[in-house]
Amino acid sequence: MSVRVGEADFDVSAELAAVAGKDHGVGGVAIFVGKVRDHAGGEKLTSMTLEHYPGMTEAELERIETEAQSRFKLSGSRIVHRVGTLAPGDNIVLVIATSPHRKDAFDATEFLMDYLKTRAPFWKKESLANGSTRWVEAHENDALAAAAWTTPSAD
Amino acid sequence: MTAETQKPEVVLRYFAWLRERTGFSEERIRLPEGIETVSDVLRWQTTRGHPFDVAFAKPDPIRVALDRTHAKTSASIANAREIAFFPPVTGG
């Protein structure tokens, strides 16, 4: 279990090896990589700058990860989030969850992203081809997706 | 006011568009008497004059963390050493 926040890019293979390389009890690995798109709201995007709250970010990601461990049967997990100025095509975020069975890995990865997007103190600012900049507004859908995890499911 | 009754200094921190609109990333300040909760401190910000009155004119989209933990508007700020103000998060 680990979280990391920084400007450097990540290598998915290296991160996966660090989480699951020596654990032969792992039956499934789910990996999510978030990337910078070259468009936003119908306009061409030239770069994206991510700001965060040092100290709180790491603490919040660790809380989110601990919550995932209590909800799902996980063998391991990792969250890597980049900050600073990124270009279209660049990686932003990596979430890995490993488990004895695939469903826990899939579900944990989705849970980690839904919680990260509503709890972890990161803010995105888009720079557009027309020279303007704008802060990305939080989506209602992200809040609903995170809230859905608190509703007891039928199964 | 005597030293015994004076409130301790707190660090106020601002992120994203709140940092840009206030022009501060952080400030060290003694809050006035009567500021007890998160909603009190949000209301107080609107009384400080430019640029805080404009930055905090619509407190609804503003989130607050006390000592790096998300806080509700009803939360007490009595023991907080660091109060952060920011818009809803958009990482990931």
To which residue do tokens 């799902």 refer? A72
* In contact, A82 and A6? CB cutoff 8 Å: yes
Distance from CA of B88 to the nearest CA of A (A): 6
Torsional sign, CA A145, A150, A151, A154: positive
Q: What is the DSSP string of A64-109?
A: HHHHHHHHS--SEEEEEEE-EEE-TT-EEEEEEEEESSHHHHHHHH
ipTM of model: 0.91
**Is some CB atom of chain B closer than 8 A to the CB atom of A6?**
no
Q: Which of B26, B33, B25, B28 is nearest to B6 (CA)?
A: B33
pLDDT at A144 over 60: yes
With CB atoms and an 8 Å threshold, state whether A92 touches B92: yes
Amino acid at A35: K
With CB atoms and an 8 Å threshold, state whether A122 touches B89: yes
Reported confidence tier of residue B92, pLDDT bands at 50, 70, 90:
very high
pLDDT at B18 over 90: yes
**Is some CB atom of chain A closer than 8 A to the CB atom of B81?**
no
pLDDT at B35 over 80: yes
With CB atoms and an 8 Å threshold, state whether A117 touches B87: no
Reported confidence tier of residue A151, pLDDT bands at 50, 70, 90:
low
Residue of A nearest to B17 (CA): A135
pLDDT of residue A1: 67
Distance from CA of A84 to the nearest CA of B (A): 12
Q: Which residues contact B34 (CB under 8 A, 6 or more apart)?
A: B40
Least confident of A13-17, A50-54, B5-9, B12-16: B5-9
Stronger pLDDT, A21 or A124, i.e. the higher one: A124
Reported confidence tier of residue A21, pLDDT bands at 50, 70, 90:
confident
Distance from CA of A117 to the nearest CA of B (A): 5
With CB atoms and an 8 Å threshold, state whether A123 touches B90: yes
Tens of pLDDT, residue by residue over B46-80, are 999 999 999 999 988 999 999 999 999 999 999 99
Angle at CA of residue A141, ends A140 and A142, nearest 5°: 90
